[in-house]
Amino acid sequence: MKKTPTKMADGRELIYYDEDESTIRDNPDLRDLPELQVTSEARHDPILDEWVVMASHRQTRIFMPPTNRCPLCATTPDNPTEIPAPDYDVVVFENRFPSLALTALDVDPSVPIDSDLVERRPARGRCEVVVFTSDHDRSFSQLPVERIRSVLDVWADRTADLGAMPGIEQVFPFENCGIEIGVTLTHPHGQIYAYPFVTPKTTRMLRSARRYREKMGRNLFAEVLAAERRLRERVVVENDNWTAFVPSAARWPVDVHLYPHRQMPDLTELNEAERDDFADLYQVVLRKLDALYDKRLPYIAGWHQAPVNSDRDLAYLHLEVFSVQRAADKLKYLAGSESGMAVWINDATPEQIAQMLREAGN
């Protein structure tokens, strides 16, 4: 793939990733864009021991523009979009309304706060948008495997680039898909959050993995994968290098984890065969999701990667894909038990979910 970094009118970075190595990218961004002041702040909650991000400049962001105003389509004379070119393969750019930004202003010292209890910092990370195709009406599940492979290469390249930026502690490529979960732009795209701290979820996972290694001498994630491959009951689909299975304590009505068979900290270490095999497997998984209720299933897919600067040998790269759709016409909501006490209640068993997914789309 050919990588062409460029600058947008307001100084944000935009990078073309082209499947054709001979592609030239020299369309300037001719829009008159105001520069955004990012006021994002991270505060440490002393009771839950977690960082929370406040991004009050985002209140003005765009909500569901009409199709002919899609900011992720290729630029036309009538619609100058975020992407100045007349066509593209995969494009990455800095989010115009980011939750995290390396340029976030210093925190306002006039806010009354007890600094012995609550630590405050500018939320200096980076939020990128990854546009998967120039075709507005396609979905990820409808991409050819070659494009899925390209997107995987882009995620890996972004993981390397973002991990090298100052202060970044974790890189999280993810896709929110479906208006049911609040997606404001339907053009197929994902996001990458480069956090200036290790996330609470990853911290918890690594705590378990550390305890398991101290006690058993082995890698917890590898053991979980080995058990699922041995038992087969919750395996949805597999190939030489990857297995997709429903976790034995699934939280969501649709919940699939995709593990490579080899332990590695992050996407950058995938070899060629593993990349090809991922593209094949992921396409099958996503098409099964769409086949479940014969509609585009809303889902969230997120890559679990090792922190940039710690526990590289303890973490285990994998992708978690889940959906709130619990029947053709019903959604699962996070209500009191989940949102208040972090106790998930699933109306389906992992074994039922796995069987449903194995049968879907066959």
Residue 43 CB, nearest distance to a copy of itself (Å)?
Answer: 4
CA distances from 118 to 99, 124, 150 (A): 20, 18, 42
Quickly count: other Cβ atoms within 10 Å of residue 104's Cβ.
24
Closest CA to 172 of 184, 185, 153, 190: 190
The yes-or-no answer on residue 189 being catalytic is yes
Q: Is 160 an interacting residue with respect to a copy of itself (CB under 8 A)?
A: no
Q: Which stretch binds a copy of itself (CB under 8 A): 17-25, 191-199, 270-278, 307-315?
A: 191-199
Q: Which stretch binds a copy of itself (CB under 8 A): 25-33, 67-75, 130-138, 339-347?
A: 339-347
Position 269: which residue type? Answer: E
Q: Which stretch binds a copy of itself (CB under 8 A): 69-77, 137-145, 148-156, 327-335?
A: 327-335
Contact between residue 204 and residue 311 where contact means Cβ atoms under 8 Å apart: no
Bridge partners, 243 (sequence order):
238, 259
CA angle 283/2/67 to nearest 5° reads: 60
* Cβ closest to a copy of itself, residue 9 vs residue 356: 356
Q: Is 335 an interacting residue with respect to a copy of itself (CB under 8 A)?
A: yes
- Per-residue interface string for the shown chain with a copy of itself, residues 277-316, x marking contact by CB under 8 A: -----------------------x-x--------------
What string of H, E and C letters represents the secondary structure of 112-180?
A: CCCCCCCCEEECCCEEEEEECCCCCCCCHHHCCHHHHHHHHHHHHHHHHHHHCCCCCCEEEEEEEECHH
Touching a copy of itself, residues 163-182 (CB under 8 A):
170, 172, 174-176, 181-182
* Cβ closest to a copy of itself, residue 45 vs residue 106: 45
Indicate which single residue of 8, 90, 168, 209 sits in contact with a copy of itself (rule: CB under 8 A): 209
Q: Is 322 an interacting residue with respect to a copy of itself (CB under 8 A)?
A: yes
* Cβ closest to a copy of itself, residue 200 vs residue 361: 200
Touching a copy of itself, residues 219-238 (CB under 8 A):
220-221, 223-224, 227, 230-233
* Cβ closest to a copy of itself, residue 17 vs residue 221: 221
d(CA 119, CA 110): 14
Residue 33 CB, nearest distance to a copy of itself (Å)?
Answer: 21
The site that binds a copy of itself (CB under 8 A) totals a number of residues, namely 87
Touching a copy of itself, residues 27-86 (CB under 8 A):
41, 43-56, 58-59, 63
d(CA 50, CA 43): 8
Point out the catalytic residue in the list 189, 257, 304, 318: 189
Collapse the DSSP code of 231 into the 3-class scheme (helix H, G, I; strand E, B; otherwise coil) and give the result: helix
Position 333: which residue type? Answer: Y
Q: Is 336 an interacting residue with respect to a copy of itself (CB under 8 A)?
A: yes
Q: Is 146 an interacting residue with respect to a copy of itself (CB under 8 A)?
A: no
Q: Is 139 an interacting residue with respect to a copy of itself (CB under 8 A)?
A: no
* Cβ closest to a copy of itself, residue 24 vs residue 47: 47
d(CA 291, CA 356): 10
Structure tokens at 213: 């290694």
Contact between residue 317 and residue 199 where contact means Cβ atoms under 8 Å apart: no
Catalytic residues: 189
